[in-house]
Amino acid sequence: MQERGWKIYASEDDEPDKDSEVFFNPAMKLNRDISEVAAKTFKQKAEIDEFRVCDPMAASGIRGFRYSKIADKLHLSDVNPNAIESIEEGLQDNEIEAEVHEKDANVLLSEYRNYFHLIDIDPFGPFTKFLDSTARAANHSSFVGLTATDNGAASGSYATVCERRYGSKPIRNSFMHETGLRIYIKEAFRNFARFDKTFEPKACFQQRHYARVMGRVTESKSRTNQNLENIGYLSYCPECRWRTLERVQECGFCDNDELEYAGPLWTGKIGDQRFTSQMIENTPEEWEDAKEYIETLDNEASIKTPFYEIHEMSSELDVQAPRTDDVIQHLRDKGYIVSKTHFEPTGVRTDAPFVDVRNAIKKGSVSE
């Protein structure tokens, strides 16, 4: 098989899973596209002479192959001997040099303390059990990508699992996947903080069955202390759909005092527009899906308020759901920052006050 010109030796399963002889999921190509662009962008900004990359759960090796264009030293590992054979075949056919390990990911990372500039963690399920070893192995200036495929827990379908796994209370509503993403970012930040390293999100997103958290790691007690202010709670009013990234006792719109809460979670921005704008420039024109996705991440990166799902808001207002573009235009005409969101096709992210969001939906409905 091939992906973006790289040859891969893997199982041709209709539904690849952890029992596949050598795992490869074609549906994760967008994830790998965005990850490759993010890695290239970080290397440009960091200006590191010897860029050391590690994929400790390499499977077919495709992530590592794609990183090889920017890696000065590439390390690939897997505990599956079949995967090791596939990786070595792929390295030979793609003419890539790499050090190959047949080791558990945590063991390998713990052996390379403060060494890697890029670490990609792409497991089945949660990434939590790999965080400590990743924090040990991350260089004082590095980039880390984390994939989580347990979205049902962090987004509220399995609240008890989320509280056990992440120490956070989720919430189940129209923007539950954003809440889940913020819980993932919080968990990454807290684990790195224990090692006096700060994790700053650069490009984070939720797509299909997974979430992807990517950010810069810096060894700095002062930066870690500063970012502690981005750990907090989300308050949500189930009556009028008002929300805020802080813990309050009553709704800021309808005065309802029976609010729902989620957290602890990350209350800061889930992306860095200075970073995502450069990612757009680094994305090949022929990667149309990836470029469009990154452009959306870039547009919404500067807005912290959780997004509004127009159909749900319209139902609460008892009006016909307007076109998303009409709502966006109404808000822009009033001078607010507004963007579509990658979470939902009918989602809008804006810094506008809640009352003006409601009014924009009403006006958009009338224009329909």
CA-to-CA distance for 16 and 24, rounded, in angstroms?
Answer: 7
Q: DSSP label at 199?
A: E
- Classify 276 as helix, strand or coil: helix
Pick the CATH number of 2-235 from 3.40.190.10, 3.20.20.140, 3.40.50.150, 3.40.30.10: 3.40.50.150
Q: What is the pLDDT of residue 271?
A: 98
Mean pLDDT by 10 residues, the chain (368 residues): 92 61 87 98 95 97 97 97 95 97 98 98 95 97 97 96 97 97 98 97 95 97 95 98 98 98 98 98 97 98 97 96 96 97 98 97 80
Cα(188)–Cα(182) distance, integer angstroms: 10
| Bond prior to 126 in cis (omega within 30° of 0) | no
Q: How far apart are CA 58 and CA 77, in angstroms?
A: 6
C-alpha–C-alpha distance, residues 83 and 173, integer Å: 40
Nearest Cα to 303, choosing from 335, 265, 268, 274?
A: 268
H or E stretch at 295: helix 288-300
pLDDT recorded at residue 368 = 55
Q: How many of the other CB atoms lie within 10 Å of CB of 326?
A: 18
- Which phi and psi angles does 250 have, rounded to 5°? -145, 155
The encoded tokens of residue 340 equal 């579509």
pLDDT number for residue 22: 82
**In 3-state terms, what secondary structure has residue 213?**
strand
Which residue has tokens 């502690």?
Answer: 228
The greatest distance separating any two alpha carbons of the chain, rounded to the nearest whole angstrom, comes to 65
Quickly tell me which residue has 């912290």 as its tokens. 304
Domain with CATH 3.30.56.70 in the chain: 308-368
339 phi, psi to nearest 5 deg: -155, 155
CA-CA-CA-CA torsion sign (13, 17, 18, 19): negative
Q: Computed from CA positions of residues 191, 182, 15, 4, in that sequence, does the dihedral angle turn out positive or negative?
A: negative
Residue holding tokens 């400590």? Answer: 132
> In 110-126, which positions are buried (b, 16+ CB within 10 angstroms) versus exposed (e)?
eebeebbbbbbbbbeeb
For domain 308-368, the CATH class is alpha beta
Q: What is the dihedral of CA 308, 311, 315, 318, to 10 degrees?
A: 100
What pLDDT sits at residue 365? 85
Q: Count the alpha carbons within 13 Å of 33 in the hemisphere toward its beta carbon.
A: 21
Provide the pairing of β-strand 52-55 with 73-77: parallel
The residues of the chain that CATH labels 3.40.50.150 are 2-235
Query: Which residue shows structure tokens 């662009």?
Result: 37
Give me the pLDDT at residue 24, please. Answer: 86
DSSP 44-62: HHHT-SS-EEEETT-TT-H
Residue environment code for 35-59, b if the CB has 16+ CB neighbours within 10 A, otherwise e = bbbbbbbbbeeeebeebbbbbbbbb
Beta bridge partners of residue 197, listed in sequence order: 219
Relative to beta strand 231-236, strand 260-266 is: antiparallel
